[in-house]
Amino acid sequence: MPSPTLRTLAKTLGLSRTTVSDALRGSPRVNAETMKRVREAAAAAGYTHNPLTGAVMSQLRRSRGQQFRGVIASIEIVLPDRDALAVRYSEAVHHGIHQRAAELGFKVEDFEVGPHHLRLSRLDDILHARGIQGLVILPAAGSPDFTELTWSRYTAVYTDYLMEHPPLHCVCSDHYRSMVSLLQELHARGYRKPGLFMEIPIDERLQFRWEGAYLAMQKYLPDITEVPPLRCSPVTQQEFEVWFKEHQPDVVLGHLPVAKEWMLACGARIPETHAFVCLNRLRTAGDCAALEFPAEHLGARATELVIGQLLHNEFGVPREPSLTTLPIRLVEGPTLPVLKPEPVKAAKPKPTKAKRR
């Protein structure tokens, strides 16, 4: 038996194909009674509406035959007090979204929500009017709340660890596995006393993944001297120097590049006696070893997932939200030698000959 189409549904119901199409996508041009009749008939016939079809045909008519498959939205929460680091990171994610969407034949429309930008209710109206149903949500501070959107219309992916309002599929960096890999690499280079300092809000936001991996590897790497992590809010020079002098780590890991200066103030020589790795390359000027987050790849992967969900008609809040993680890369720098330098041994004094009397 052939699959039902808009044409066969329209013929069976005695309606035009335009009316049937409008009813299936919830257009306000169709009255509630007709919309209900069309949807019941479509369900009984086993017809599955692909929301991309109308957008594709419309764009093809406008673009004179160029390859086009649909439109998705990138959505960013813009707060008045966001810092330059967050802006740079979001820009990289945003670039990855646009680049991958273009490769897959999709256009991206960008929206900003926040106190001085769109309200969610207005965004909901715009997305519905334009027929946009695939959403990529950029990272936001705190716990963003998008419950005001009409989620039966949309499919979405959040480009950070956790979205609970509503719970969505997420794509983020793999902080835990990347810390494990970093500590294994440092061990292979000869470091046996790594020390981690961490700002408490960052630790909590990442659900203790940096710290959890650090504590675990201190238990399982051979010949490791355990150094308790320094956790402060914020991390200050005074607290850092007390911790550094007491525990004497041979390699320091943390988000603040200024820690290099604090180490030097304690008598360390980098990289001759001690090493340093910054846990976020965006915070550096390229003057030290650092971990580089795959921001563009996160945007690209989220885009792939959203488009896949669109093509499979997967709308609404997912029953079982998933978490996709991507590795973080170590970028070499002058603060981390390939091998830990051997300690310089003091020269033995030459024996003096006894004078003859």
My answer on whether omega of the bond before 271 falls inside 30° of 0, hence cis, is yes
What value does the mean pLDDT of the chain take?
88
pLDDT tens for each residue of 284-321: 988 999 999 999 999 999 999 999 999 888 999 999 99
Please report, for the chain, the start and end positions of each structural domain, with discontinuous segments joined by +.
Answer: 175-292
> According to the per-residue pLDDT averaged within each range, which of 15-19, 178-182, 202-206 is highest?
178-182
Residues forming beta bridges with residue 252, ordered by sequence position: 195, 276
**CA 293/CA 328 separation, integer angstroms:** 5
Per-residue confidence (pLDDT) for residue 342, from 0 to 100:
83
**CA 148/CA 126 separation, integer angstroms:** 14
Of 3.40.50.300, 3.30.70.100, 3.40.640.10, 3.40.50.2300, which CATH number belongs to 175-292?
Answer: 3.40.50.2300
My answer on whether omega of the bond before 351 falls inside 30° of 0, hence cis, is no
pLDDT tens for each residue of 250-292: 999 999 999 999 999 999 999 999 999 999 999 998 899 999 9
Q: Using 50, 70 and 90 to split pLDDT, how confident is the model at 63?
A: very low
Residues forming beta bridges with residue 74, ordered by sequence position: 110, 136
Query: Exposure string (b/e) for 62-98, b if CB count within 10 Å is 16 or more?
Result: eeeeeebbbbbbbbbbbeeeeeeebeebbebbbebbb
**CA 153/CA 78 separation, integer angstroms:** 24
The mean-pLDDT minimum among 67-76, 218-227, 234-243 falls in: 67-76
Per-residue confidence (pLDDT) for residue 56, from 0 to 100:
47
What is the side-by-side order of every strand in the sheet holding 275-278?
230-232, 194-199, 251-254, 275-278, 289-292, 329-331
Task: Read off the pLDDT of each residue in 73-95 and give the average, rounded to a whole number.
Answer: 91
pLDDT at 357 over 70: no
Dihedral (CA of 33, 38, 41, 46) sign: negative
pLDDT at 50 over 70: no
Q: Using 50, 70 and 90 to split pLDDT, how confident is the model at 348?
A: low
pLDDT at 125 over 90: yes
More confident of the two residues 180 and 1: 180
Task: Read off the pLDDT of each residue in 35-42 and give the average, rounded to a whole number.
Answer: 82
Backbone angles phi, psi at 278, to 5 degrees: -80, 135
